[in-house]
Structure formats: structure tokens, C-alpha cells
Structure 1
């Protein structure tokens, strides 16, 4: 028989406190094993019916407060993330660069414009910056998985649009696009036109 293995989700043979701890360990294990944010539906499949994943996450965050990693909300899911204060240590040990290293200042400006105006076409970016945005720049951002193709524009020729990804949220430590700095403050600072 193929399909989803059966697990005891309810754990009725355990006392309530041990049951809760087992659900916490299950959720942490799933998050630990995943390189991508894990959606609530997936987490709900490993805990008892009617158990609030949000409350489990709150308790897990509290348990991890003294650890070098934390659980963070990313888009529609949750992910274990190293605390920012340990990021450089990991990059040195693993001899890797972060998602933003090597990007030019203009690349980051285009990335910010996409974040604030998505979905946006290259023509829309040209209107913002007053010059054509090179396909190579879009390719750099896309190859780092910071942006992705969005819905086709309803304009003539149906040009591609671009949107940010979950990795963009992770790279900037955001839960969602709602956490972007206020546009008016960015405009007042001269960062956004």
C-alpha cells in the first residue's frame, strides 16, 4: 500500500503535558528537515486534530529563545532560521556568501522597486529609474531566487512581470511584504521615488 504513512496524531496514551511536548518536537523536526518554509497545513498533519499550530509555534519560539536559531514566519509558512548575530560565523565556517553578497547597489535598488511595485514589468522599472533595466540584472536577481516571474501583464504583448520570492523575505528578515519599511519614509529618505 502506498500513500501517506499513518502516525498517531492524537497521542491519547500520553498525559497532556507530554503530548504537547511531543507535538512541539514533531513540529521542530519537520522545520529542521526542511530547507523551505513549511506551511501550516503540513504541520497540522503531524499534530492532533484541533491543535493550534500558532500556539505551538509561540511555545517553540519561547523554548528556542536561548538557542542560536529561532522559528520565523516566512510568507504562509514557518522556518527555522539562524539568528542574525550568528550569520557571519556560519558564512565563514561554510565558506559561503549570503543571498545579497556580490549584488551591486543598483541591483538592490531594482530589487526594492520590485518589492514595492510588484508585479512589475521591465517597462515599469524603466519608468521608475529612467533607463532600461538590463536582462542580465533581472537574471542575477532571478538566479539567486530573490525574484520570480509573476503573472503576465494584461498590456499589449503580455510582457512578463516580476515579483519577490520567499527567499527575498528570508534574506531581509521579513515575515511578509507588509513588513517592508513604510513607503513614505523610504520616499522621504530619497530611497524610493
Structure 2
């Protein structure tokens, strides 16, 4: 056991030693060259990641005095003429192709795999329920049904869960302690949001005729959602 402990300590010491050998500060470089190297490190780290890269992760590859936000701004400026960009998504940054090239990507792969990382086929009914979950989470299926004046089917909820756009939240304190539903990181990625604070405000949605807070809270049907049948099965309004 003592020998195993020494080996573990040795590996730990090696890791710390390797970490010290990685030069984040780059004090030996002129300021312009130092900034350029930091830009390259940040872009390479984001490019290599399959998930959005957080500020804390990026801070591991640059100096303490480096502004991550300014680095991102400079990288995005250099990418201005490229078919992809760095975007804030789900609490970090991610390389995404520009929407103008979605058709080309679909032609090549059958789906726009580069624009959000997801390929989700949503009906208008799905989108309206998802929107309600996003604004009122955590929320139960019964509460959703009350909002829309029609039963929200388990199939519809299952479709959104299968697409990884929603997940089970905490149990409701109401009788029976039903599960609530909340949106996921995949939801943020799919809709190009950094956090839920980036959701459009109610006034903007009301001005566009897409949502009425008063009707929602009164339990009235949202315009465009009348075609959910009485059995609770969702009908694809946009098909």
C-alpha cells in the first residue's frame, strides 16, 4: 500500500510539474505576439471541444491579465468573412456555422449538423408547449394543460424529452407530487441562447402576436393551438 501511495503521489507531482511548465503568461513575448498566441489558444480550445467552453476553462490557457471577452471579440472580428463564427451558447462559447450555409450543409449531410449540433423536427404545437415550459419552468403537465385549455399529451412531452430539449425537474409540492419539466442545455444550444435570460421578453412576443401573458395565465388557448384534439394527441399544425 505504501508503494501504491508513493506512485499516486508521483503521478500527482508529475501533473503539477507539467502544469507549471505550461506558460500562460508568455511574458517573454512582445504584447502583440502574446495577444495573438492567446487568441490562437482560445480558438483552438473552443474548436476542439464538443460542448460550449466556459470562461473558467478558457482562463486556464491564457494569462491572468488577459480579458477573455476582448479575445473573443478579436477572434470573431477575424472570422467575420468565414462561414462559421464563435457564439455564446449555454454558458460558454462554441463554433457554429452561419445560418446562410444551412442549405449547403443539409445538401451534404441531410441535416444542418453544423448550425446547432441538433436536428430537431418540431411542430408548431411542440414549439408552443416548449415556449411555455421555458417561461414558466418548473411546470407540470397538468399546469401546461390548464394553460392551453386542452390536455397536453404524454407523447408530446415524450417527443420534447427525446429531443433532449426538456428534462424532469423537481417534483411539484401539489398533491401527488407530479414531476415538473424544465428546459436543458440542448434547448439553449438549439435556439442560440446563452442563458434563459436571453429569451425574448413577453412584450416583444405580444407585439408579434405570438403570446399573450394574460390569456396564458387565464387558461385561455394560445392562438394557433386550437387544433390539439380532445384525446390529448398533438396535431402538427405546420404540416
TM-score by shorter chain over 0.5: yes
Q: Which moved more, 1:170-179 or 1:24-33?
A: 170-179
Match for residue 126 of structure 2 among 107, 124, 137: 107
Match of 2:71 in 1: 56
Q: Distance in 1 between matches of 2:123 and 2:150?
A: 16
Structure 1 counterpart SS, 2:170? coil
Correspondence for 2:211: 191
Residue 178 of structure 1 and its aligned partner are, at CA, apart by 2.4
Structure 1 97/103 Cα, relative in aligned 2: closer, same or farther at 3 Å? farther
Aligned to 1:175: 194
Tell me the residue number matched to 1:14. Answer: 29
CA deviation after TM superposition for structure 1 residue 190, in Å: 4.5
Out of 77, 85, 92, the position equivalent to 2:107 is: 92
Q: State the 1:150 CA deviation.
A: 2.2
Match for residue 163 of structure 1?
Answer: 182
Give the structure 2 partner of residue 141 of structure 1. Answer: 160
Deviation of residue 183 (structure 1)? 1.2
SS at match of 1:155: coil
Paired residues, what number?
193
Using the TM superposition, give the Cα deviation of residue 32 of structure 1 relative to its aligned residue in structure 2, in angstroms: 0.7
Within the candidate set 141, 162, 177, 1:122 is matched to 141
RMSD: 2.1
Q: Could you say what secondary structure the match of 2:139 adopts?
A: coil
Is this contact kept in 1: 2:145–2:151, CA < 8 A? yes
Q: Report if aligned partners of 2:26, 2:63 keep a CA contact under 8 Å in 1.
A: yes
What displacement does 1:101 show?
4.4
Q: Deviations over 1:151-177 (max 9, x none)?
A: 332333332222222222222222332
Structure 1, unpaired ranges of 5+: none
CA contact (8 A) 2:92 2:194 kept: no
Q: Is the 8 A contact 2:168 2:180 kept in 1?
A: yes
Question: Which consecutive unaligned segments of at least 5 residues does structure 2 have?
Answer: 1-10, 217-239
1:43 aligns with 2:63: no
Partner of 1:24: 39
Instruction: Compute the TM-score of the two structures, normalised by the length of structure 2.
Output: 0.73
Q: Give the deviation of 1:39 after TM superposition.
A: 0.9
Cα distance in 1 for residues equivalent to 2:138 and 2:154: 17
CA distance in 2, matches of 1:112, 1:37: 23
